Structure 1
Amino acid sequence: MTTALVIIDVQAGILNKPGERRPAVLERFDAVRARIAQLVDDARRANVPVIFVQHDGVPGHRLEVGTPGWEICGDLNRADGDAVVRKTAGDSFHDTNLQAVLAQQGAKHLVVVGLMTQYCVDTTCRRAVSLGYDVTLVADAHTTDDSGALTVEQIVAHHNTLLDGFDAGPAVISVRPAKDVIFAKSGEAA
């Protein structure tokens, strides 16, 4: 089964919202980006396709197209040949070419990382399974912001627990830490 690494919305302005932000939120964002960069390097060594999903915000949005906040973070080791799928909704498959890009790569298993846990990451994982893809959600390579009622740590832990084992027919989501994601040379993730 061919694997693809799918990186969702790791953009410069993703956590730029008015108001105070706990230092833990930004520290986690830094740590998640470092893990994603390592996964990108690992995927490349195994000839696994790397796909970036980039949210196109409307004018005035923190991810407004063409603004510095819209740019994919520069520390993720993106290469010129990586596919970039642009989206306008929380679901990375909704009105995008993601499924066509995955089909072109022959991908049947997705390793998913990125932002925002309770929105785009959750929705994309669920949709992928309903479309027949097996998904590995990397437990420590997705993040979000505090919600007011819950901290980032609570949101991430909740979604890791909630999504682990979520299935649709034979396709299933497995949640595992980055250290346990090994891309085999054949293009599969173990």
Structure 2
Amino acid sequence: MGNTALLVIDAQVGIIEGPKFGPVFDKERLLDTMKNVVGKARSEGVPIIFMMDTEIASPISIESQVHPHISPTRDDITITKKAVDAFQFTTLHDYLQTLDIKHLVVMGCKTEYGVDTTCRRATTLGYDVTLVADGHSTTANNVLGAEEIIAHHNCTLHGLDNIENFILVRDSDENIFTHRHSDFKK
């Protein structure tokens, strides 16, 4: 697993539980999935990075904190961000480079914002991405329900490529930390 890291995007109380930005669709299932994936990453020695959006709430409020169901440990890295893109104006790329990470496993909130944007940007920066199909969620908007948004992004992002790097969408019960992208590269 030496070239793989787990990136957890905006899994904060204020998004998952609300009231302003949530609750996200099927939050109990999402939290169970994220807890299982985080646990699997820890048991396999995969580095875990939690991205936290500073625009959610006051930094001292419970809403701004990573959800207690998946709280970071002292071995995990937490990076704050202001932009939807987890790489924009953050130390994320530099940190991943110091670890020689080539493969990112991504999950979190919200699907059409931080998750989508970060997955796409990661490929342009030279990372292969595994999006955890059942490990991201969102809320409905004026056009689509949350379940439709999630399904749309799982379909659209699977196979999305940028020259040499691309996104695979895989279920959490698969061996998601295995970097399988080379199986598809010529």
Q: TM-score, normalised by structure 2?
A: 0.89
Using the TM superposition, name which of 132-141 and 10-19 deviates more. Answer: 10-19
Q: What's 1:157 paired with?
A: 151
Q: What's 2:47 paired with?
A: 49
> What's the secondary structure of 2:89's corresponding residue?
coil
Please, which of 74, 88, 101 is the counterpart of residue 107 of structure 1?
101
The answer to whether structure 1 residue 36 and structure 2 residue 37 are counterparts is no
Distance in 1 separating the partners of 2:58 and 2:92:
21
Q: What's 1:6 paired with?
A: 7
Please, which of 112, 125, 139 is the counterpart of residue 119 of structure 2?
125
Q: Is the 8 A contact 1:14 1:63 kept in 2?
A: no
Q: Is the 8 A contact 1:130 1:168 kept in 2?
A: yes
Q: Is the 8 A contact 2:111 2:153 kept in 1?
A: yes
> What's the secondary structure of 1:48's corresponding residue?
coil
Unaligned segments of structure 1, at least 5 residues: none
Using the TM superposition, name which of 41-50 and 118-127 deviates more. Answer: 41-50
| 1:89-104 equivalence runs, <5 A | 89-104=83-98
Q: What's 2:69 paired with?
A: 75
Pairwise CA distance, 1:149: 1.5
Unaligned segments of structure 2, at least 5 residues: 181-186
- Alignment root-mean-square deviation, CA: 1.8
Count how many residue pairs are aligned between Structure 1 and Structure 2: 178
> What's the secondary structure of 1:96's corresponding residue?
coil
Instruction: From the superposition, tell whether residues 182 and 161 of structure 1 become closer, same or farther in structure 2 (CA, over 3 Å).
Output: closer
Pairwise CA distance, 1:18: 5.1
